[in-house]
């Protein structure tokens, strides 16, 4: 089975973290985000993956090479100008032999591929959209289906009285080559606003399948943090190979935990390769420290992410925030909820 992953977006909502790294390569629990997706695809029998790249394509080659390390044959189709989600698939049409899986490159999900394929075949559909249920449907574009499970209509951010369902596009699709061939070549074109409404308009078979697995679009800072809290909290299965466990602490190779380090609340703390936590540091909930991070004495960190090479000064306080790679957070600084420091930021001592 072959899969295309859409990875060409600018990731503007995740700035400043995406200023230097494209969203699919940003670390999630200390691995490039896409690695979680690729490993899951391989587990489910996908061996050939094409990455449809646009923004900062070299970062993908650096992170994954030809995919051998992950047991996948990885190829790239680069767009010199953005073609949109549909245009990107059309650009890679030569790769689509038979039924092809297409995934957004910014969704963390546990997709049951066998069930998805079964539904697609049973519906004799040209395209099938995976859906996921959400608690607050007003925030999303909804996909309404009929009793036979075919797509009936799309509702963009409906008002409460317009809501007839709670299923949204999960960012995973199965396509027959005939559906891909319906996308106009070489132009900016969207799957969601272009191809799918077009297929519906012409009475072509567009099916839906509801996925019940974990689902999270990591496209905003809030959700990016949530992916870490969920992973460390146990909501999705973390790859824990090679980690030492000490109570709620998970230590990668060479990581050091100083004396009198405290943890309170639910969740776990991951110390990346070669990271070090000084005496008397306090952790609350789930915290992810990247490779080579230093947390100095008495610092306190609650539900936050510190990326590779950053240093957190003594008695600094971090809560529900993201500290970029190689940042310097001075002694006694306070970084509060919702904040994100771009790579290399320097906060002098006692900044708030
Ligand atoms: P924002 O700028 O924050 O909205 O993020 P984004 O640019 O990633 O856009 P969005 O979240 O809507 O994109 C959904 C998925 O499609 C992501 O995995 C993007 O990488 C991908 N994507 C969006 N536009 C393009 C494009 O023009 N070409 C390719 N190849 N992928 C795209």
How much is the pLDDT for 116? Answer: 97
Of 23, 68, 152, 157, which residue is the catalytic one? 157
pLDDT at 234: 86
Q: Point out the ligand 1 atom lying closest to the alpha carbon of residue 106.
A: 18
Q: H-type helices in the chain, by residue range?
A: 33-43, 58-64, 84-91, 113-122, 177-181, 196-201, 221-233
E strand intervals along 38-112: 48-53, 73-78, 100-104, 107-109
Which regions of the chain are under pLDDT 70? none
**Rounded to an integer, what distance in angstroms lies between the CA atom of residue 222 and that of residue 304?**
11
Task: Kindly give the pairing relationship between strand 300-306 and strand 276-277.
Answer: unpaired
Q: What is the pLDDT of residue 87?
A: 97
Ligand 1 mean position, distance from CA 6 (Å): 7
pLDDT at 236: 84
Q: Which atom of ligand 1 has the smallest separation from the CA of 18?
A: 3
Alpha-carbon gap, residue 157 to 337, rounded angstroms: 27
Per residue, the 3-state secondary structure of 223-235, as one string, reads HHHHHHHHHHHCC
Nearest CA to ligand 1 atom 19: 9
**Per-residue model confidence (pLDDT) at position 238:** 80
Instruction: Report the nearest-CA residue for atom 29 of ligand 1.
Output: 8
Distance from residue 55's CA to the centre of ligand 1 (Å):
9
Residue 154: what pLDDT?
A: 87
Looking from the CA of residue 13, the nearest atom of ligand 1 is 3
Domain boundaries, the chain: 2-217, 240-347
pLDDT value at residue 159? 79
What CATH number matches the domain at 2-217, 1.10.10.10, 3.40.50.300, 2.40.50.140, 3.90.550.10? 3.90.550.10
| Interior angle at CA 306, CA 300 and CA 310, nearest 5 | 100
Has 118 been annotated as catalytic? no
Q: Comparing C-alpha atoms, which of 302, 291, 296, 350 is closest to residue 325? A: 291
* Tokens at 91, concatenated: 């650009």
Q: Which pLDDT score is estimated for 136?
A: 83
Report how far residue 311's alpha carbon sits from residue 296's, in angstroms, rounded to the nearest whole number.
Answer: 8
Predicted local distance difference test score (pLDDT) of residue 201: 93
Closest residue by CA, ligand 1 atom 31:
8
**Contact in structure between 72 and 49 (CB atoms under 8 Å):** yes
For domain 240-347, the CATH class is: mainly beta
CA pseudo-torsion sign 167, 173, 174, 176: positive
- Which residue's alpha carbon is nearest to atom 27 within ligand 1? 84
Q: What residues does ligand 1 touch, defined as CB less than 6 Å away?
A: 6-13, 23, 52, 54, 79, 82-85, 88, 104-106, 219
How far, in Å, is the centroid of ligand 1 from the Cα of 85? 7
């Amino acid at each position: 089975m072959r899969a295309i992953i859409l990875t060409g977006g600018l990731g503007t909502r995740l700035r400043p973290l995406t200023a230097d790294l494209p969203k699919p390569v940003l670390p999630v629990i200390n691995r490039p985000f896409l690695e979680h997706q690729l490993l899951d695809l391989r587990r489910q029998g996908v061996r050939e993956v094409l990455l449809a790249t646009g923004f900062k394509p070299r970062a993908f080659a650096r992170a994954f090479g030809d995919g051998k390390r992950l047991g996948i044959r990885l190829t790239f189709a680069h767009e010199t100008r953005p073609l949109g989600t549909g245009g990107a698939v059309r650009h890679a049409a030569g790769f689509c032999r038979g039924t092809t899986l297409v995934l957004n490159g910014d969704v963390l999900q546990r997709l049951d591929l066998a069930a998805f394929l079964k539904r697609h075949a049973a519906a004799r559909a040209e395209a099938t959209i995976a859906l996921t249920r959400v608690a607050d449907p007003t925030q999303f574009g909804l996909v309404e289906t009929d009793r036979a499970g075919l797509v009936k209509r799309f509702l963009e951010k409906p008002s409460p009285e317009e809501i007839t369902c709670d299923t949204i596009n999960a960012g995973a699709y199965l396509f027959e080559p005939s559906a891909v061939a319906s996308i106009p070549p070489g132009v900016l074109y969207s799957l969601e606003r272009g191809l799918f409404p077009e297929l519906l308009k012409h009475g072509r078979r567009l099916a839906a399948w509801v996925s019940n697995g974990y689902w999270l679009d990591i496209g905003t800072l809030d959700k990016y943090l949530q992916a870490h809290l969920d992973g460390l909290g146990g909501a999705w299965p973390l790859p824990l190979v090679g980690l030492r466990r000490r109570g709620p602490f998970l230590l990668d190779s060479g990581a050091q935990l100083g004396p009198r380090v405290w943890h309170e609340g639910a969740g776990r703390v991951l110390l990346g390769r070669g990271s070090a936590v000084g005496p008397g540091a306090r952790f609350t909930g789930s915290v992810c420290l990247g490779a080579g991070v230093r947390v100095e004495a008495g610092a306190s960190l609650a539900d936050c992410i510190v990326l590779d090479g950053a240093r957190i000064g003594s008695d600094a306080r971090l809560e529900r925030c993201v500290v970029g790679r190689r940042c310097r957070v001075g002694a006694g600084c306070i970084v509060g909820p919702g904040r994100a420091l771009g790579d290399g930021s320097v906060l002098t001592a006692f900044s708030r």
